[in-house]
Amino acid sequence: MSTHEVTNQAPPLVDYDVYGADAALREGVARYAAPERLAEIDGELGELGRAAGSAEAQHWGELANTHEPVLRTHDRYGNRIDEVEFHPAWHSLMDRAVSAGLTGDAWTRPDGHLRRAAGFMVWSQAEYGHGCPVSMTHAAVPALRTDPALAEQWVPLLTSRSYDFGLRAPQRKRGVLAGMGMTEKQGGSDVRANTTRAEPLAADGEYALTGHKWFCSAPMSDVFLVLAQAPGGLTCFVLPRVLPDGSRNTFRIQRLKDKLGNRSNASSEIEFDGSTWAQRLGPEGRGVPTIIEMVAATRMDCVLGSTSLMRQALAQAAHHAAHRSAFGGPLVDKPLMRNVLADLALESEAATATALRLASAFDADTAPEREFRRLAVAVSKYWITKRCPVVAAEALECLGGNGYVEESGMPRLFRESPLNSVWEGSGNVNALDVLRVLAREPQVVEVFLAELRLAEGSDRHFDAALKELLTELADPAELETRARRVVERLALLLQASLLLRHAPAAVADAFCLSRLGGDRGSTFGTLPTGLALAAIVDRTRPAV
């Protein structure tokens, strides 16, 4: 019937190069990569970008979220097995992530953190939920390296490019996945309130654990870093799912969490019954300092993940606007829609610039760069993860009713968007971490401020905002009450400094005027007149 003819609908954003279409990401990689390795890195990321944008990978993402993980506590004979079943699409996503080096390259290759950060941002745009075990496997490595013997046993398997799913003795596997068990019902982020007990066994460094973990993501993993109360205080332990003799360790999965988003990823509640075997990692009573490097790496991935989600939401919105006509022409050419898209693009590019700067600090690993990332990771984790939900919501609205239906993929992006602000410390936890640094580590603050000052004199709004920040930092009164305000200023100035130094003038000027100069409303699409909005939108739009 003629009334069923479909017109004026945007084609699916499919079969495109996620990496090649992202100018900010490509330019950032070129900025920080060693020149002699840039062609190799670009080639790898381009291959991954084309895979992420393919119809096949997008279908994997749909299937992995439609067919959610299933808990199997017992086998058909009544034996306790505590296994999680996943749809084959999940395994396809994981296989590609691991084989692309997203679990190990940061620790094994030159420019490894940069390669891996860019790759994580690219591949996560195909599907975000499987990024959780990818992230934790990557992040377990620096914590394990505090014990040479345990590192020798686990790190080669964790950094392997082989995805080898299934609970078997580690020595029989080509690669393994890692998880983390920190939070408990009564404590949440206050891990020092943990009640899980660790009783020393006869062999040195071996313990039996009794207790629970309230949130344990990816319980199908091969090994976990967990916190428990040993005789000497809160301590970090390495807990394998399968023991060296091939028998199952006691790891009771009580249920899988029914979550807002992140549906493809299995998050669980688990119990240790007194026979759960674990090895101590680091001294007794030093659990938090031991696991803190894992926390820092997963916080970094919260930044990467939110940046990835924002970029994909923006790409979908810009693509739709380029192909949808209304009121006599393409939406992308309408001044008000262009304002909205440009505003979203500023948020996405600022996040991308920040994420890659952090990755470069991990690669350099000098004392000043360690001090910079000590503050910058917490600041960026707080701010970028909080910007993600509002970006996702506005991008969804750009598609109108088409964006509200599941087939568009936008509802899944929106449901994922709050996760990173909750995971690895909510906003208040990260803000308080920043306050501790401000109060106790003046050298870290000076390194961070030195990074900001690299853009001093480039923009009057930036200079005025930096001066206001220094005044605010000098006032200790009710600092905890003002913590979120201070962290927001730190984050915006870091982003502005990076954009002023590295982004096109149209992007940097618009960001500073709207985010620091105050010439903007309370929602997206309220940028002032006189800015090069068309150039900002054209820079960010996938050419599909």
pTM surpassing 0.95?
yes
Over residues 535-540, mean pLDDT: 96
pLDDT bucket at 189, cuts 50 / 70 / 90: confident
Q: What percent of the chain has pLDDT over 70?
A: 100
> What CA–CA distance (Å, rounded) separates 104 from 102?
6
Quick check: 496 and 511 in contact, CB under 8 A? yes
Quick check: 266 and 219 in contact, CB under 8 A? yes
b vs e for 477-516, b when ≥16 Cβ sit within 10 Å of the residue's Cβ?
eeeeeebbebbbbbbbbbbbbbbbebbbebbbbbbbbbbb
Taking only the tens place, the pLDDT of each residue in 386-396 is 999 999 999 99
> What CA–CA distance (Å, rounded) separates 10 from 175?
42
Residue 199: pLDDT above 80? yes
> What CA–CA distance (Å, rounded) separates 120 from 300?
11
Residue 59: pLDDT above 90? yes
| Cα Rg of the chain (Å, integer) | 24
pLDDT bucket at 192, cuts 50 / 70 / 90: confident
Q: What is the mean pLDDT of the chain?
A: 96
b vs e for 53-82, b when ≥16 Cβ sit within 10 Å of the residue's Cβ?
bbeebbebbbbbbebbbebeeeeeeeeeeb
How far does the chain reach from its first CA to its final CA, in angstroms? Answer: 30
Which pLDDT value is given to residue 347? 98
Which pLDDT value is given to residue 453? 98
List Cβ neighbours of 470 (8 Å cut-off, separation of 6 or more).
Answer: 449
Quick check: 122 and 284 in contact, CB under 8 A? no
Taking only the tens place, the pLDDT of each residue in 81-119 is 999 999 999 999 999 999 999 999 999 999 999 999 999
| C-alpha 306, offset from chain centre | 6
Over residues 430-448, mean pLDDT: 96
pLDDT bucket at 34, cuts 50 / 70 / 90: very high
Handedness of CA 293, 297, 303, 305 (dihedral sign): negative
Taking only the tens place, the pLDDT of each residue in 483-495 is 999 999 999 999 9
Tokens found for residue 41: 């890195």
Kindly state the DSSP code that residue 520 receives in the 8-state scheme: S
pLDDT bucket at 454, cuts 50 / 70 / 90: very high
Over residues 272-281, mean pLDDT: 97
Over residues 359-368, mean pLDDT: 97
Which pLDDT value is given to residue 187? 82
Over residues 411-415, mean pLDDT: 98
Residue 335: pLDDT above 90? yes
Over residues 325-352, mean pLDDT: 97
Over residues 121-146, mean pLDDT: 97
List Cβ neighbours of 209 (8 Å cut-off, separation of 6 or more).
Answer: 196, 197, 198, 199, 226, 228, 237, 239, 272, 274, 276, 277, 278
Kindly state the DSSP code that residue 10 receives in the 8-state scheme: P
Which pLDDT value is given to residue 434? 96
pLDDT bucket at 4, cuts 50 / 70 / 90: confident
Bridge partner list, 74: 80
Cα–Cα distances (Å) from 251 to 19, 175, 213, 248, in that order, read 40, 20, 11, 8
pLDDT bucket at 131, cuts 50 / 70 / 90: very high
Kindly state the DSSP code that residue 246 receives in the 8-state scheme: S
Bridge partner list, 255: 269
Over residues 362-370, mean pLDDT: 96
pLDDT bucket at 1, cuts 50 / 70 / 90: low
Kindly state the DSSP code that residue 15 receives in the 8-state scheme: S
Residue with tokens 């034996």: 79
pLDDT bucket at 217, cuts 50 / 70 / 90: confident
